[in-house]
Amino acid sequence: MTAIESTNAHVHDLGMPGNPISAAIADSVAVSGEKQTALKAKDLKTDQEVRWCPGCGDYVILNAVQSFLPSLGIAREDMVIVSGIGCSSRFPYYMNTYGMHSIHGRAPAIATGLAASRPDLSVWVVTGDGDALSIGGNHLIHTLRRNVNLTILLFNNRIYGLTKGQYSPTSEIGKVTKSTPMGSLDHPFNPVSLALGADATFVGRAMDSDRKGLTDVLRQAAEHQGTSLVEIYQNCNIFNDGAFELLKDPATGTQWTIPLVHGEPLVFGPGGASCVVRDEVGGLRIAERNQVDASEIVVHDAHRNDPSYAFALSRLSSQDLRYTPMGVFRSVDKPVYDRMMADQLEEARAERPADLAALLAGGDSWTVS
Amino acid sequence: MTGITPGSTAPAGAAVDAPSSAPGGLVKSVVALDRVVIRLAGDSGDGMQLTGGRFTSETATFGNDLSTLPNFPAEIRAPTGTLPGVSSFQLHFADHDIMTPGDAPDVLIVMNPAALKANLPDLPGGGLLIADADEFTPRNLAKVGYASNPLEDGSLDGWQLVSVPLTSMTTDALADSGLGKKEAERSKNMFTLGLLSWMYHRPTEGTIRFLERQFRRKPQIAAANIAAFRAGYNYGVTTEAFAVSYEIKPAPMAPGKYRNISGNQALALAIVAAGQRSGLPVFLGAYPITPASDVLHELSKHKAFGVRTFQAEDEIAGIGAALGASFGGALGVTTTSGPGVALKSETIGLAVMTELPLVIVDVQRGGPSTGLPTKTEQSDLLQALYGRNGEAPVPVIAPRSPGDCFDAALEAARIALTYRTPVILLSDGYLANGAEPWAVPIIDELPDLRVDFATEPNGEDGEFLPYLRDPETLARAWAVPGTAGLQHRIGGLEKADKTGNISYDADNHDFMVRTRQAKVDGIAASLPPTEVDDPDGDARVAVIGWGSTYGPIGAACRRIRASGRSIAQVHLRHLNPLPADLGEILARYDRVVCPEMNLGQLAMVLRAKFLVDVQSHTQVRGLPFRAAELAAVLQDVIDGTTGTVATSDSSSDTPAQTGAAL
Ligand SMILES: Cc1ncc(C[n+]2csc(CCOP(=O)(O)OP(=O)(O)O)c2C)c(N)n1
Ligand code: SF4
Ligand SMILES: [Mg+2]
């Protein structure tokens, strides 16, 4: 929680003393009394009817987020959720915070401008696999490399839901959909690998139905300073039902899921029979525990500065989800964009205070009398 | 060489001063002129833009009225000495107020054969031609297809040729500077500037100060450039090649403080001023593109004013970030050129729907596609007005001169903040890079741009209605995140009236589409009456323009009036909404002519809106209109001739077309 508190230390210090934004906020607080930070899940609900298909994984995620957010101790008015377009991107309408349901793929860009100019806010992005990785792929990678203070929730259902079931950039090769009756031809993205390739400072993965795991990753993501990307596997029961069944079904889930716990050895599988070890060329591979020495088992280190370890972890998965690490892949501290931007403004002001008349006159003026 | 006149179109100069003596007993005379047009041309690497810029600053400080036309290739460094590599800078300065950079130069300075070849067609016969003889080597001549040296073969007999070894005189002057020959040669532009400064009695301290500042960290280079500059000046004093120098008295100007300013500078300063006058932080989201990048560069220097500049990954992110910042209560701004506007269209639509303030600057260049990146055009008007899906009305404003970019940008900010709407500001390459003297505004006289953020519920049941409108402006309530109790969601889906909730209701959509249109139309009520410039009061023909054609059209009107004819000039700043009185004004005239640097875009709008038989006169050469050509067109209209007008333009092989060419 310390990290969040330090965000709020910047509250309303927008670097412009007496600016109208701070004044409006102060006025509103005077009207409504103190800022309400002791919230319950129901305080975050809106009067808008939720319009996802019954059974959609988005409901579960919404509930988890609404239950978890109050624990951050942030007032509703200080949270903003920006989304793109897609089923998942309807999310802001159901959250009693500030929100913008923007245009397809552009939420990270819009959120960047908001977060960069308002470091006092807690800004969240909700996006889908098509929204974030297809039309908005460019914005996503650049947002990650800049490390703006944002938390991005990528709802990956491996399909285009809102447009009724075309394959997406995370669909497995050979996916038969309306637009690919003979099977899709293109190789999918692994969103975690992509984010790590963009040097993202925080990357995690969670399952919609796993309330505890999801909440745990969300908490770490929210506390992280800089851009956090959380890939959430989300079931679209209409167009891609059962996409994550291999991991959800207890019978197979333990076998194929690698839980990531910082500081713990990477051991998984029924009875902890499998583990992750280094391979011969510097990457990682799966091994049977009884085939290797305990000292060979990799101990998970999410704080490693070099992203190649986390990348190697992400590459353990095949596109059919066999061996899927879940949890926080990487969480490292790096300078945060909006802070640095605010610091530059400070520095400029310290060097030469703003004097509009002098600026307009410039260095080479002359006077006609 | 006595008897050189500058080739000025001004009345024959009279010697004003008693001949002054130069060292060595040389007798030099001073001739008074009322105006002169100089063009400097050289290789992209010769520093012509810098030299022109410095000469402009000296001229501005001296107090002449002036107007400039930089003209440079899109390539950063085309191969040295070739035609595509030629860069030029034209400056018109006078002892009275002028409106254009001049149709053609009186004086042409060429630094190499390519510059001669590219620019000679524009120099009227008898004009003064100064050439750097050192660069007319067989190799350089061959590069541009000269079989023999034109400086020597008599082919330039129709002009007043002064061939001087500018390069070697520069290296001679810098013999003791410790610089190598190649490095010393690079100061030849400063030598040339010194010579011109002598010729036109320009003050020199500013340039010396500039060079000291510019090369603060390289004192040797600073010293060399200053030495070259002085040597050029002294060469003018002592040489027999130039027996005459010229005096152009300061132009009368209203009392006040002045500076020289380019359109892009003025625009950037206006954005800083808008932030200060509204009290809001400014957020610029931009992606580099010619000719708009200088606005990004300039604004990046003004962080102390609470200006955040964000170089985005593309134009879409630039405008997206700006809109996000606007949502947070900043003055969001995005700057680009035509291709960038194409990419921003969808987000402009989102800004229309979310009704947030946003200033979109389009510094137009030749199109379509990549087009002519460094040349000017007005061909984005229809894109600005209509280039979006759905009924997405956006106010559009155009500045008419470099200095006017300041006022126009402040007006864009006023409209954006007052009406909570995206606004497009249409500048162009000619305004962006051109410069003129500018009366420095007094801060307290700038518009008050303060905004009212919502701070408490505005609904009858104590709820917050983000789409409740101000009855007068139809602007919606603007509550910024952080404001307690006013949490709300906005977005691109159709909004229900008042609540802003998603609504697919047929009547509501019809109502909201019309309301957004009415809001933008209603801006017209805040505009002053349209100015009609008809000094004689009996004009039967009106000429209407917008944007940067103001200067050439105005200069053409002066010519028309000087010929004893009457003409009315109307120049539009607001392209959307159009001024409320415009239809009535246009209906007063027998003929309305609309010159544009496109194929008749405003003409089409005027015809559609007012059923006026507007006669379109168009040119898309990447250059501003020439006043003389325009005057010929207007004169023919006044005298009753219509149809295609042949222009007496020796440099253009395609005569300009009249008539609606849509
Ligand atoms: C510019 C633009 N292109 C296309 C669309 C249509 N469109 C809306 S959502 C979507 C895909 C959404 O897929 P995803 O991001 O995976 O979200 P999901 O619905 O699966 O949650 C598409 C193609 C659009 N709204 N805007
Ligand atoms: S289509 Fe799929 S993703 Fe969209 S709401 Fe329905 S179940 Fe959910
Ligand atoms: Mg999807």
HSE toward the beta carbon, residue A12, CA cutoff 13 A: 19
Residue given tokens 């450039």 in the structure block = B225
Q: CB A20 to CB B451 under 8 A? A: yes
A269-310 per-position pLDDT tens digit = 999 999 999 999 989 999 999 999 999 999 999 999 999 999
A94-128 per-position pLDDT tens digit = 999 999 999 999 999 999 999 999 999 999 999 99
Report whether pLDDT(B14) > 50.
no
State whether residue B359 is helix, strand or coil. strand
Report whether pLDDT(B5) > 50.
no
State whether residue B613 is helix, strand or coil. coil
Lowest mean pLDDT among B177-186, B542-551, B586-595: B177-186
Q: CB B456 to CB A78 under 8 A? A: no
Nearest CB among A28, A46, A115 relative to B483 is that of A28
What pLDDT was estimated at residue B75? 81
What mean pLDDT value characterizes chain B?
Answer: 92
User: In the predicted model, what is the mean pLDDT of residues B574-592?
Assistant: 98
Distance from CA of A11 to the nearest CA of B (A): 9
| Closest C-alpha to ligand 2, atom 2 | A236
Report whether pLDDT(A171) > 60.
yes
Q: Percent of chain A, pLDDT > 90?
A: 91
What pLDDT was estimated at residue B23? 52
Look up the pTM and report it.
0.92
Q: Percent of chain B, pLDDT > 90?
A: 90
Strand B26-32 versus strand B20-22 pairing type: antiparallel
Strand B568-572 versus strand B532-533 pairing type: antiparallel
What are the Cα distances from residue B331, in Å, to A21, A269, B107, B274, B432?
A: 11, 55, 46, 8, 22
Distance A166 CA to ligand 3 centre (A): 9
What pLDDT was estimated at residue B18? 39
Identify all chain B residues contacting A31, using CB atoms and an 8 Å cutoff.
455-456, 484-485
User: In the predicted model, what is the mean pLDDT of residues B579-586?
Assistant: 98
Q: Is residue B333 within 8 angstroms of chain A, CB to CB? A: no
User: In the predicted model, what is the mean pLDDT of residues B114-121?
Assistant: 97
What pLDDT was estimated at residue B98? 94
Q: Which strand (E) or helix (H) includes residue B383?
A: helix B381-386
**Centroid of chain to Cα B32:** 29
What pLDDT was estimated at residue B650? 32
Q: CB A27 to CB B456 under 8 A? A: yes
B16-42 per-position pLDDT tens digit = 443 444 455 567 899 999 999 999 999
Sequence-ordered alpha helix ranges (H) in B107-218 = 113-119, 138-143, 166-173, 181-185, 188-199, 205-214
Distance from CA of A334 to the nearest CA of B (A): 19
Report whether pLDDT(B552) > 80.
yes
What mean pLDDT value characterizes chain A?
Answer: 94
Which residue from B325, B634, B604, B37 is spatially nearest to A113, judged by alpha carbons?
A: B325
Q: Percent of chain A, pLDDT > 70?
A: 95
B383-417 per-position pLDDT tens digit = 999 999 999 999 999 999 999 999 999 999 999 99
What pLDDT was estimated at residue B238? 93
Q: CB B272 to CB A116 under 8 A? A: no
A36-93 per-position pLDDT tens digit = 999 999 999 999 999 999 999 999 999 999 999 999 999 999 999 999 999 999 999 9
User: In the predicted model, what is the mean pLDDT of residues B157-171?
Assistant: 96
- Asked whether A166 and A159 are in contact (CB, 8 A), the reply is yes
Q: Which strand (E) or helix (H) includes residue B70?
A: strand B65-71
What pLDDT was estimated at residue A13? 44
B81-94 per-position pLDDT tens digit = 999 999 999 999 99
What pLDDT was estimated at residue B649? 36
Length, in residues, of chain B: 662
- Asked whether B315 and B365 are in contact (CB, 8 A), the reply is no
**Ligand 1 in contact with A129 (CB < 6 A)?**
yes
Report whether pLDDT(B653) > 90.
no
What pLDDT was estimated at residue A363? 85
- Asked whether B320 and B283 are in contact (CB, 8 A), the reply is no
Q: Percent of chain B, pLDDT > 70?
A: 93
Nearest CB among B303, B327, B480 relative to A100 is that of B327
Residues with CB under 6 A from ligand 2: A 52-53, 56, 58, 87, 157, 161, 236-239
Report whether pLDDT(B173) > 50.
yes
Lowest mean pLDDT among A288-297, B69-78, B101-110: B69-78
**Centroid of chain to Cα B319:** 23
Cβ atoms < 10 Å from Cβ of B478: 21
What pLDDT was estimated at residue A248? 98
B642: pLDDT confidence band, cut at 50, 70 and 90? very low
Distance A87 CA to ligand 2 centre (A): 6
Distance from CA of A43 to the nearest CA of B (A): 12
Report whether pLDDT(B13) > 90.
no
What pLDDT was estimated at residue B24? 54
Report whether pLDDT(B647) > 80.
no
User: In the predicted model, what is the mean pLDDT of residues B215-219?
Assistant: 94
- Asked whether B564 and B590 are in contact (CB, 8 A), the reply is no
Lowest mean pLDDT among A24-33, B104-113, B122-131: A24-33
**Shortest-distance atom of ligand 2 to CA A165:** 1
Residue A204 backbone dihedrals phi, psi, to 5 degrees: -135, 165
Q: CB A349 to CB B303 under 8 A? A: yes
What pLDDT was estimated at residue B28? 81
- How does DSSP assign B115-133, residue by residue? HHHHHGGGS-TT-EEEEEG
User: In the predicted model, what is the mean pLDDT of residues B32-54?
Assistant: 95
What pLDDT was estimated at residue B547? 98
User: In the predicted model, what is the mean pLDDT of residues A332-355?
Assistant: 97
Cβ atoms < 10 Å from Cβ of B59: 29
User: In the predicted model, what is the mean pLDDT of residues B49-58?
Assistant: 94
**Shortest-distance atom of ligand 1 to CA A132:** 15
User: In the predicted model, what is the mean pLDDT of residues A18-47?
Assistant: 91
User: In the predicted model, what is the mean pLDDT of residues A148-156?
Assistant: 98
Output the six-digit token pair for B134: 């050192």
B63-73 per-position pLDDT tens digit = 999 999 999 88
Q: Is residue B323 within 8 angstroms of chain A, CB to CB? A: yes
Residue A91 backbone dihedrals phi, psi, to 5 degrees: -45, -50
Q: Tell me which chain B residue has its CA closest to the CA of residue A34.
A: B484
User: In the predicted model, what is the mean pLDDT of residues B172-186?
Assistant: 93
Q: Is the peptide bond before B441 cis (omega within 30 degrees of 0)?
A: no
3-state DSSP of B486-498: CCCEEECCCECCE
B283-301 per-position pLDDT tens digit = 999 999 999 999 999 999 9
- How does DSSP assign B557-607, residue by residue? HHHHHHTT---EEEEESEEESPPTTHHHHHHTSSEEEEEESSSSHHHHHHH
User: In the predicted model, what is the mean pLDDT of residues B96-117?
Assistant: 96
What pLDDT was estimated at residue A17? 52
**Ligand 1 in contact with A239 (CB < 6 A)?**
no
